[in-house]
Chain A
Amino acid sequence: MSQPVAPATGSGRIRTPLPFPTAAKPAVADPQLRANLHRATRTIRAKRARVVDEVPDWEALRDAGSAIKADVQRRLPELLEQFEASVTAAGATVHWARDAAEACRIVVALTRAAGADEVVKVKSMATQEIELNEALEAAGIAAYETDLAELIVQLGEDTPSHILVPAIHYNRAQIREIFQRRMPDVPADLSDEPAALAEAARAHLRRRFLSARVAVSGANFAVADTGTLVVVESEGNGRMCLTLPETLISVVGVEKLLPTFTDLEVFLQLLPRSSTGERMNPYTSMWTGVTPGDGPQDVHVVLVDNGRSAVLADPVGRPALSCIRCSACLNVCPVYERAGGHAYGSVYPGPIGAILSPQLTGVADNASLPYASTLCGACYDVCPVKINIPEILVHLRQQAPHPPAERAAMGVLSWVMRSPRRWAAALRLARAGAGPLGAYRMRRTGARTLRRLPWPGSAWTRSRDLPLPGPQTFREWWGKQ
């Protein structure tokens, strides 16, 4: 009998190099970035609300989506084996990667075996997560992002800041500037109209699509009973990559499975409306292994763990694996809107990132992220698969390492509040201590408030006055009756 194998945390671009509050500071102070994010998130919020409101059975679809994903998680090992058998029977080759490095090695080896020194890429969170572009470059293979936003980020030598729109932090003028600087074939008088910028991207990538020999994609869904992979997109760059090259390598997180082809009837309704706020995205491609005479004849699927087994091991945090990467939670999050995606360090920003990244790495490695939320709950309301993000945030906060001073203060406060007698005494003491100060401030300034406190109270008084207790507590008033 073999020993049980422990779930393992992941590697790649899923760790915050800086604590969230530190990383958020420059973003909050950048008015251009704030304006870009404000405008973009408000636009998409309104679009989503409009197309969700017109669906009478939206809540029923959410319930079904949530349950299907819970079922997938429960049966993940058997569904993976079923998927492997189905897609292998359809002519594809399945590879398994324990972590980011192993996944990258597999893609590099497959690209070399195809005799190629460049690949075209469909936008994929999994390949961003495993830092595939960097690994390909190190192996002498050029990786060309073909999604417009990914192209902007790649040309700008930047990193994505949003799941759906990696370049959400740029406005049209900034994008034109990047194109003029980095696209050799761009017209000198390029305007900043979105249509003109899209046209420039079309011209820039056209030859590359028509001559590419290897494409790398992710997948939105992998169907266990048929072996079908699904990519949902808008521009047609996905279709180009999935159709024209001879070799297609798809990097797929193990959680992307759906049990049956029929289950797509739920997710293809939930995803586009939650994501781009459209009834349906312009293009959805599905392929099942190899189709003779149609599309790539050398088809590979790389199934990646990279920390997902660690997420699965936590019964409370497990539903984070239900995420379909729609980014609706980012678009409604007031913290994301102010801090931007880069502050989260990981490729997974926003509320879902704040629960997913710490679980993929272990909470100690991303200890600030579970606290990067006011627990306002807007994310849970829009999540198409009903991930209770606030509940999981609170759960992860229990596992986070706590600062010693905070731990001491919380311990003392708990000791006081667990005893009705001590709490009553503490209230009397606080009122007696702060009451005269409040009365003094009242006489001096006309308000019973403090305007400046030393650290750590300064975190509060930097932008708000602090109210002081009045002449009596509630229980003192009650007692006098």
Chain B
Amino acid sequence: MRIALFITCVNDLAYPGTGIAVTRILRRLGHTVEFPDRQTCCGQMHANTGYRAEAMPMVRNYVDVFDGYDAVVAPSGSCTAMIRDQYPRLHPPATSVAARTYELSELLVDVLGVTDVGAEFPETVTYHPTCHGLRMLRLGDRPLTLLRQVRGITLVELGDAEECCGFGGTFALKNPDVSTAMLTDKCARVRDTGARVLAAADNSCLAHIGGGLDRHRSGVRAMHYAEILAGASS
């Protein structure tokens, strides 16, 4: 099976550790993962902010780059949802590759049939299900199923877990007051758990919540759950 990694633009620039983690997990499980370097961005920010025409070249580029693979894995619920939900409507030739694009936990659990990836992570962790993974991809408890198998981990439940953190892409900039109010509540629920690590499936949401937690010097670390599954406990 030819698996390609779609790293996503934000991860490529600011969160290389997440891509490294995905690579390590898949290699540890005996799979070969490829990184086609002509990939750029899924176009979600443009499309969702009202610039669909400007997003279209990225959509077409995605199809050109990834159409030849059996599976594409992206460590982002939001970008995967953009591809799976919007691409077929925006660009019908994308329908096939969109259906073969998976968020990491979908690839592991549904495609590869794995729940124990052989990781160890001796920390107290709480998990925030990010909105697009939760309600567009219907990831359900796949990420938590994977995390529960991690050696040494203590998972604690996040209050109001299914409530949005207030990021919403350009929403955070266009509606800073409401966004900050939502963020404040989310950070409070995270702190309520006493966990030392906040995990999620999207680094953009984690940048938002983590940025809020850092502002208040909470000492809670925001981490993509792939990095936990890779055993990167440093």
Contacts and interface: CB of A to CB of B under 8 A. Distances in A.
* Consensus secondary structure, chain A interface: helix
Nearest to A29: B177
Interface residues of A, number: 66
Given A372-B175, A418-B57, A474 B12 contact: yes
A414 B51 contact: yes
B37 A430 contact: no
Nearest to A400: B50
Given A374-B164, A414-B57, A470 B211 contact: no
Given A410-B51, A418-B58, A451 B215 contact: yes
B214 A375 contact: no
Given A374-B164, A414-B54, A463-B212, A473 B12 contact: yes
Interface stretch (B106-114, B149-157, B166-174): B166-174
A447 B7 CA distance: 24
Interface in A5-32: 20-21, 24-25, 28-29
A319 B142 CA distance: 32
A402 B46 CA distance: 12
Interface in B118-172: 131-132, 134-136, 162-164, 166-172
A101 interface: no
Interface string A166-189: 000000000000000000000000
Interface stretch (B66-74, B178-186, B226-234): B178-186
B214 A447 contact: yes
B224 to A, nearest CB: 12
Given A418-B57, A464-B183, A467-B211, A334 B166 contact: yes
Contacts of B171: 371, 373-375
Given A371-B171, A470-B16, A420 B163 contact: no
Contact of A418 (B40, B172, B211, B212): B40
Q: Which of B166, B176, B212 has the most CB of A within 10 A?
A: B176
Nearest to A414: B54
Contact of A464 (B47, B169, B208): B208
A427 interface: yes
Interface in A429-481: 430-431, 447, 449, 451, 456, 459-460, 462-470, 472-479
B175 A21 contact: yes
Contacts of A474: 7, 11-12, 15-16, 19-20
A198 interface: no
A372 B168 CA distance: 10
Nearest to B14: A469
B16 A464 contact: no
B13 interface: yes
B39 interface: yes
Nearest to B78: A375
Contacts of B175: 20-21, 24, 335, 371-372
Given A418-B40, A420-B61, A375 B48 contact: yes
B100 interface: no
Given A376-B164, A465-B211, A478-B35, A397 B16 contact: no
Interface string B36-49: 01111101011111
B14 A21 contact: no
Contacts of B166: 334, 374
Interface stretch (A80-88, A92-100, A269-277, A377-385): A377-385
A467 B41 contact: no
The residue among B50, B61, B132, B208 with the most chain A CB atoms within 10 A of its own CB is B50
A381 B46 contact: no
A423 B40 contact: yes
Contact of B178 (A335, A397, A465, A479): A335
B215 A459 contact: no
A21 B181 contact: no
A211 to B, nearest CB: 46
15 contacts: A21-B178, A28-B180, A28-B181, A374-B168, A376-B164, A410-B46, A417-B41, A424-B37, A463-B211, A464-B215, A465-B210, A474-B15, A477-B19, A477-B20, A478-B37
Interface of B: 7, 9, 11-17, 19-20, 23, 35, 37-41, 43, 45-52, 54-55, 57-58, 61, 65, 86, 131-132, 134-136, 162-164, 166-184, 207-208, 210-212, 214-215
3 nearest interchain CB pairs?
Answer: A374-B168, A464-B211, A418-B57
Given A418-B61, A470-B14, 9 more contacts: A21-B174, A335-B182, A375-B132, A410-B49, A410-B54, A417-B41, A420-B39, A460-B176, A464-B214
